[in-house]
Structure 1
Amino acid sequence: MQPLRPADDSSAHAGPGDGVRVSLAELIDMRHRVREVPLFSSPHRRSQLVGLHHSKLRGRGVDFDQVRIYQAGDDVRTIDWRVTARTQEPHTKLFHEERERPIYLLVEQSPRLFLGSARAFKSVVVAQAASLVGWAALSHNDRVGGLVFGHGDQQEIKPRRSKQSLLQLLDRLARANAELQADQPDDSEAFGLALRRAREVLRPGSLAVIICDERALGDAAEQQMSLLARHVDLLLIPVCDPLDHALPAAGLLRFAQFGARLELDTHDTALRQAYRQQGEARSARWKRLADRLRLPLMPLTTQRELVEQMREHLIGQHQGASR
């Protein structure tokens, strides 16, 4: 059973800044909160998210630096044979570890996110979290890009170390948010297609940050993430609303969706318990996936302030790694 939107939904008249819609200006302003959430390491400050940026390099994790005369102890596999032949003296190539890597944001903006019973709609929290991660990555001198999916055509921006590139992604995110309506059908294939696209475009060593509805994790999506995790690092950020996990004991509630109507007696204890168990099962599935693939998991709720939640996750990751 999925939460339905109340029949008297008046959110179509809401505007940016009220927790129902998010504007490009709000997403740009998130750059001022980056220092509060050290997502990525810096020379003077190490991120608490273990493995996000200083994990063992996979694939092409080094850049060519220069050529110099071969010295005793150098790896013979790095000999530059062209320069050696031209100069008649052994030369070797020097490399340095990559100082940047592509960070790819997979951001959902689907009708199922257009719901909220607390501080903000899930679609707004998802957009704000994506913006915060994007600004944090750019401030760390990484290349940032991503894909907005969920309703209609996918909107993709290739990773670049460019403020303009991030602004383009945020603009498409704000536009997708503005187009959400309560009576739109969900695209059940969108999440899987987004994950497959990430597998096509990301090279080893990249970081894919998945920010989506907690209810998005099905069998096909879990399989796609397992395949993606073989080649790139993943950060999982599922978002939920209190209404996803518990029905209020408010008596008879009427819901409407796509012309269908439903009445629920929320005083029915068995009904509320079954509903709560389904919500707990969804959260547990994300936890099992993260544990199996050894991925950082940062679940968010619409009930609390975004930056506060992310800081707590970072502290928890650090404490878990230091044990």
Structure 2
Amino acid sequence: MHTLPSQPGVRVSLAELIDIRHRLREVQLFSTPSRRSPLIGLHRSKLRGRGIDFDQVRVYQPGDDVRTIDWRVTARTQEPHTKLFHEERERPVYLLVEQSRPLFFGSGVQLKSVLAAQAAALFGWAALTHNDRIGGLVFGDGEHHEVRPRRSKQSLLQLLNRLVGANHALHADMQAPQGTFGPALRRAREVLRPGSLLVVICDERALTDAAEQQLALLGRHIDLILLPISDPLDHALPAAGLLRFGEQQAVLELDTYDSDLRRAYRELGEARRLRWQHAAQRMRALLLPLSSQTDMFEQLREYLEQPAADSRR
């Protein structure tokens, strides 16, 4: 287990990620027998019956999906009846979590890398509590750390420990990674069977053409939850005068008083946001973008409070 010192908002510790399990009541991510998660209503499964089991038949009610009508019962009773389903138990839940240098940045309450680790821990504990099998892949700057899905607390702890190790290995002088998201998605395609749930937690800037193609292939057979991580400075530049950025021997200067420059920068950020939104709509994936500006639990509670028919997702 990693015991490296943590810096709140800059580094995560294993103890911090373990403690997140005590806050599961704040956000109901998965349905339970006594409570249905509002997030499930935001998620439209592409394949009828994928990831769910038959529960019972009841009288058809306005708003029910006509594709679930039980025609045999309807013919026998001369009254429309529809099938009800409940979520499949012990499905594999796979966390694909990025820990790379582009995430080692933040102007809000935490670095993006810390937010990604917290989100992975939250979904991991929620899945384990839901009796699902949990595993995942931590990917980033040259190294991948994989844990195969098992319904085991030790499996999740192993994944979180590797996540902490990758988080503590990040530093500002690292060389930027080249195309690590696509290979991580290809690995997920190799290990996940139909009906699995893939939770993708990555930098908002990671969605390239190749990565989007891999996501689309995954979305044909498994459920997807997408959590692109961003920072306020990814979307807008402040009018702060001349800003200088350096990377090894390269130096970039930007005059942020230039309104045309700030507008072009905002447009690039908006284009990334819209790309994720359009991709999620095509794949019928659940999109939960997170910002380092605000506490993760506050953001997820806002999603939970939105109507189930929110067309933005």
TM-score tier, shorter chain, comes to: 0.7 to 0.9
| Residue matched to 1:151 | 141
TM-superposed deviation, 1:101? 0.1
Are the equivalent residues in 2 in contact too, given 1:40–1:52 (CA < 8 A)?
no
Are the equivalent residues in 1 in contact too, given 2:44–2:285 (CA < 8 A)?
no
Secondary structure of 2:287 counterpart: coil
Are the equivalent residues in 2 in contact too, given 1:49–1:317 (CA < 8 A)?
no
Are the equivalent residues in 2 in contact too, given 1:40–1:53 (CA < 8 A)?
no
| Residue matched to 1:128 | 118
Structure 2 residues without counterparts, runs of 5 or longer: 54-85
Structure label with greater radius of gyration: 1
Whole-Å Cα distance in 2 between the matches of residues 20 and 46 of structure 1? 35
Deviations 1:112-143 (A, max 9, x none): 00000110000000000000000000011110
Are the equivalent residues in 2 in contact too, given 1:150–1:186 (CA < 8 A)?
no
| Residue matched to 2:213 | 223
Whole-Å Cα distance in 2 between the matches of residues 52 and 224 of structure 1? 23
Whole-Å Cα distance in 2 between the matches of residues 188 and 45 of structure 1? 43
Q: What is the count of residue pairs matched by the alignment?
A: 275
Structure 1 runs, 4 residues or longer, greater than 6 Å off: 51-54
Secondary structure of 2:135 counterpart: strand
Whole-Å Cα distance in 2 between the matches of residues 36 and 54 of structure 1? 24
RMSD of aligned residue pairs (Cα, Å): 2.1
Aligned with residue 112 of structure 1, among 82, 102, 120: 102
Aligned with residue 9 of structure 2, among 19, 25, 33: 19
Deviations 1:219-262 (A, max 9, x none): 00000000000010000000100010111111111111132111
Are the equivalent residues in 1 in contact too, given 2:128–2:153 (CA < 8 A)?
yes
In structure 2, the CA distance between the partners of 1:177 and 1:303, relative to structure 1 (3 Å rule), is same
In structure 2, the CA distance between the partners of 1:38 and 1:269, relative to structure 1 (3 Å rule), is same
Secondary structure of 1:46 counterpart: coil
| Residue matched to 1:251 | 241
Structure 1 residues without counterparts, runs of 5 or longer: 1-13, 63-95
Pick which of 309-318 and 214-223 moved more: 309-318
TM-superposed deviation, 1:217? 0.4
Secondary structure of 2:159 counterpart: helix
| Residue matched to 2:164 | 174
Are the equivalent residues in 1 in contact too, given 2:197–2:223 (CA < 8 A)?
yes
Secondary structure of 2:50 counterpart: coil
Whole-Å Cα distance in 2 between the matches of residues 103 and 57 of structure 1? 17
TM-score by length of 1: 0.81
Are the equivalent residues in 1 in contact too, given 2:43–2:286 (CA < 8 A)?
no
Whole-Å Cα distance in 1 between the matches of residues 10 and 186 of structure 2? 30
TM-superposed deviation, 1:317? 5.4
| Residue matched to 1:77 | none
Matched, 1:275 2:265: yes
Deviations 1:155-196 (A, max 9, x none): 000011110000000000000000001121222221000100
TM-score by length of 2: 0.83
Whole-Å Cα distance in 1 between the matches of residues 307 and 250 of structure 2? 44
Are the equivalent residues in 2 in contact too, given 1:52–1:233 (CA < 8 A)?
no
In structure 2, the CA distance between the partners of 1:280 and 1:39, relative to structure 1 (3 Å rule), is same
Are the equivalent residues in 1 in contact too, given 2:42–2:308 (CA < 8 A)?
no
Whole-Å Cα distance in 2 between the matches of residues 190 and 198 of structure 1? 13
Aligned with residue 27 of structure 2, among 33, 37, 43: 37
**Matched letter for residue 270 of structure 2:** E
Whole-Å Cα distance in 2 between the matches of residues 23 and 97 of structure 1? 33
**Matched letter for residue 107 of structure 2:** S
Secondary structure of 1:212 counterpart: strand
Whole-Å Cα distance in 1 between the matches of residues 109 and 292 of structure 2? 6
In structure 2, the CA distance between the partners of 1:249 and 1:15, relative to structure 1 (3 Å rule), is farther
Percent identity of paired positions between Structure 1 and Structure 2: 64
